[in-house]
Each structure stands twice: as C-alpha cells, then as structure tokens.
Chains A and B, each alone.
Chain A
C-alpha cells in the first residue's frame, strides 16, 4: 500500500513537472526580435492594386511596399515632407506642380525609378477608373486628359498641371496619403499585363514597388509576409520581416498580444482594449483620424425633408452618453463635419439630448405622436451600439425606430441607392488634412437629381442640397489667402448648422492599436499610412 502511495506521489510530481515545463515554455514564447507580428482583421483587405484598393487596412500595407512622392509628418499633418520627390514647386498661378525626384532610387526589381514611372503610375489610376480614381476625378483629371496633364519632363522631373483651379495643397496631400499615389515599377507591372489591364489582375495580389519591404506571400484572410528590401534608398529597414496575420476575433487577438504571440494588435473591440490597458506588457496607442461617426437621414423621406424634424433629431441624440459609454477607444466627441485639429474647424456647438425640445419641434412639424422609421446600421461595434442608443432616445419623442443591421455592403448599398430613412455610419473623407476633404465627402452635392447618381458624395446620397453651400465649397478651395479661406470654411460650417444638414456627426474616429512594449518607433499615422521602416524590437 505504501509502495502504491509513493508511486502515485511520484506520478503526480512528474505530471506537475511536465505541466509546469510546458506552461513555462509557453509563458516565455515570444516573437523573434527581427520580426514584427501584426494581428488584425483582414476582412477588408481585398486588393493590393494602388488603383483599386479601398479601405484603411490596405493603406498601411501599401505605405510599406511602395514609396510616395511626398509624405505627411504624422505628428503635424500640415507639414509635407520629401520622399521620392526631394523638392517641389507650385507655379505662381497655382495651376501646376513640378516635383523633382531624387537620384539613385531603385525598385525592388532592380529597375531604376524615374519620373516616367511616377507619371505612368498616376495616369494608370485614371485610365483604369477603379475605386481610387475618386480624388483625382474630383480635381478634374480624367482618362481623356491625364496624358496631357501628368507628364515626365525628364528622368527626374514630374509635372502635374491642374485641369481646374483648386487648392494645390489638396493635390499635395493626395500625393502624400492616397493609395492611388504609390509609385509603381512600370516595367515589372507591364510584364504581367493581360488584355490591356495595365497589370490590374496581377497587382490584386502582387506588388512592384520601391518601398522598404517586399511582398513575399499573401494568403487572403490568412497571412501576409513582407521581407526587408535591402536596397532601399533610405537604407534597409530595421526589421527583417513583417508578418500580418488575420485574426477575426477581437478576444483571440487580445489573448495573443497578452501572451506575446503578436507584437501589434489592430482593430480590436473597445472592451478588449480597455482590459489591455491594465496589462503591464503593452502600450495602447490611439490615433485620431479624420473620419466621422454620424447619424444620417435621407431627405427624400418626407419626415426628414422637414427641417424641424431634422432639428428634432439633432436634439434626440445622446452625444454625451454615447461618447462616454460607447466611444472610448473608437472616437472622441465631435459635432462638426470638418475634422478636429484644422485651423478652420469651429468648436463644437454643444448639442445635447433634449427630448422636450424635440417633442415641441415634432408637434410643430405635425407629428405630435411621433412616427415610425428605420435605422440601418452595420452589426459591428461601436456602430450598432450607437444605433441602439439612438433607438432609445428617439422613443423619448415618440419616434418608433426599428434597427435593420447588416454588413457594410447592405447598409451603404442602400445609402447609395437613396433607399433608407436613418443610417448610423462612418465616413467623411479625412485622409487629406484639409476641410475640403470632409466637406466634399459629407456636404457637397452639385446635382441632386436621381439621374446624376453622384454616389461618391454623401451629400447626394442623403439628398441634402444647398446651392449656397455648394458655391462656398467650390470658391473656398480656390481661395489663395489662407485666412480668407479659413473664414469661408467657418461660414460653411455655420450655414450647415443653420440649415440642419442631413448628416449629424457624433464623434471623430480614433484608431487604437495595442503594441507590445518590445516595439519601438511605431508612430501611428492619422492618414493610415503608418511607416514601419524605423520600427524595431527589443
């Protein structure tokens, strides 16, 4: 009996030792020092073609595979920094930009990078007319004029003539931030051209750039491997490899960063980020973005065509409650269409939840008992949570709102078709740090007819049409005097407030990443073009 007890004791001890050893091995598991492992949801990463790639995730990838002509300082977005172009000039008549490219830059293929490549890359975007042609088309560029307007004067000089008067800073900002401005290796791309597609099919899953990292492998919705390009003109990146892995579940991602299996977690849910703030091994880094979370109504709907109803709706949003309870790690309170941090941005008007005022307005508008409506919203946080809050506060004034939740495709598809009543959404340009970028996206609507199908303008989608605001937006972007221009943008915001626009911003977006403390020099870029070339690990 004693022998058996002794044997059992030894077996239990051995078992515990094995368990302890395994646990210790796991506890000390860590990613290699020369690799940055990023965990993120890759659901929206559909294409790597700079002419057609949409979404913010791709911006972060492309910014490291390719070079841009210029860059924006992530800590002061008004500062344009040299990149491939070592200097640039804006013509006195503000109708052209001339950029001088640096010498000795080579693509990852070994081909030299010239102004021809830059001109061809920009023209390609317009010729293909894929998703990323939008900003260029808004400046008046099109397939028919782009050969004439964007051209290489010699191997190092790129000249961009503007088709119509605009603020050349906007064009510079687009060159610095839009994925469409990445410079491609013309020879490498054209070697893969099929049926005159300018390499579009190949570039969906391949890259041909001069950036600090080269695409080694991409398995959609699984993993992307980027290896250091040793011939990079700024000198090789400090990391040997960047690995991105698709982690669809925020909680899984949280466990992985806690255990040190990933170094950087992006796109996590708010509660998981909140929990990680107490973890000693990580740093939470919020970056303010230029996009807004908003409540939009369709002015085609007879209820919301009435200004008094829109005004009532403005008093039926619990701004303070939403920002305090739902938006931490997602956004910060902001009630204007122009993003925070620009000289022209007006302070918040101080809208508050006021059901009594809303009820009064609804009585005046002929809805003493309220009415029924629908709120379309994506089923992801925080949008669904904002919609739920809105549903509750609308009920305070008798508005019975049903929530229709779905994918982005379903929600924004209905918005593009102008077939909705209320949408809780996110949008508003904001990649370029200029009031025009926000106003163009959220407010501008030069033609309100159905036939115009200006689906890229949310002003058109919501049927908000104010000729005076349109005129001011068009004039302001051409104004040369910065002080006068800022004043014009302030007037636009004041008029938008008086007219009670169809889109009511609630918060400005914050993108929060969680970083292991082993990661250094990671500076999240407000325009999503975060550069990893200087990042290193302990």
Chain B
C-alpha cells in the first residue's frame, strides 16, 4: 500500500485513534483519492466520456422488498454493455441499485458495501435501516461536484427493516437526488431514464401487500414498459438469454433470483406481450 506507513514502520495515527466507525470518513484521512467525489476533474462537462446505466425499480411487498434493474449501459447513442449488473446487495438485509455514470455508481456500491460491513465489525452491531440510508445520502452528497460536471450517479436503496416501527411495513424503499437528498418512498419507486414509464406501469398494477412472487413479475413488466419507450433501457434479450437482475430482501436476508427463475418469469412476460403488446 502506498498509504499508511510512516518511516518508523508503525501504522499512522489515523489507523489507531478512536476516530469514527465510518469507513469513508477514515478514507478521507488515509487515502482521499479513493473517494470518487474527491478527484479533481478537468473543467467543462464530462458526461459523455463514460457509460450510463439506466432503469432500476423497487417494490415493497408483504414480506420485504424486490429490486430489479435492466442490463443495458449506453454511451450517447451506442450500447456500451448488454449485460451490466446494476443491482447488488448492500449487506445481508438491504439492496442498492444505481443509475447514472456506471463507473462511479459501481464504485459507490463497493464503497457502501464496505462502509456497512466496516461499521458492523467496529461496533459489533448492525446499523438501522435509516442509518444505512443516511450514510448513503452522505456519500452521494460527496459526489455533488462531479455530478455538476456530468458524472452524476443516483442510487436506489431498499431493505428489510429488522426492527421496524410498523411490522407490516418492514420492506422499505429510499430514493435520493444528486444533492444527497433522501426520501422514503411508499409502495414502489423507480430511477433512471426509463423510470417515468416504469412508474406509470406500476401505478396501474401495484397493490399494497403484494406477494414477493407477484412483485417479481410486476418488476419485470415495469422494466419491459421502460424499455418499450426509452432507448437507454434494455428489454429482455431472448436471443442471448440476458434478462433483468432481480433481488429480494426479506427476513431471510438478500437473495438473487437464479438464472432459471428469472428466465421463467421473463419468458412468461414476453409471451404475454406477444398476445397483448400493451401488457
């Protein structure tokens, strides 16, 4: 490691002092260049230099949350990637998806995963779901400078609340804006350029207390509608068998739908659209 060792060989003070339990705050002292918002950018807009990821949907269900993301990343009018994964577990009970500059988004996910695990190890306790959302908001806020120059990234955060105020609403969804604003959503939420169409689709179909299995179908349907009207969102790719990434967070932790499971759901949705293109 380039960082971290003074000539005496002993770990520098910021390693051994009490400090905080936040990994990103520690990094800002130890290696600020590892934080995306701390890098100097050339003047002007840089939005077109890197691929963009698009649509993510999250749905609150009877026993947790479902989050799904399409697989496309674009650069201007080009498809940069057909099989990017934009939905990941943040820890054992929460999920994070990103829209915006893909590189920074994926880095933000990695940092956030370490941030949560780091707190667990230092404190021997898990952060509350609100605490996790607030930490993520702070990290998005740190990227504001880059966002103003076109390298914006906006996450969607959802998780199973282990100690909810209302047990019937243990699955909770949080959305963010580029300034680090944090908003709790009711029922469902979508982000990215296809989110308009995904949310419209969900508005007509979502019912409170929907089962996880139904919510998975709803999410895939909503992504289909987003891909239908937004060029930056990829639809189900039946020729290559590339389907959305779908994850759930329930009392049993987070789970990614296996290839077989998502193939079954996606092909059923596509079959339905063959008969009725409007869904």
A binds B: no
Measuring CB to CB, which residues of chain B are less than 8 angstroms from any residue of chain A?
Answer: none
- A: residues with CB less than 8 A from B are none
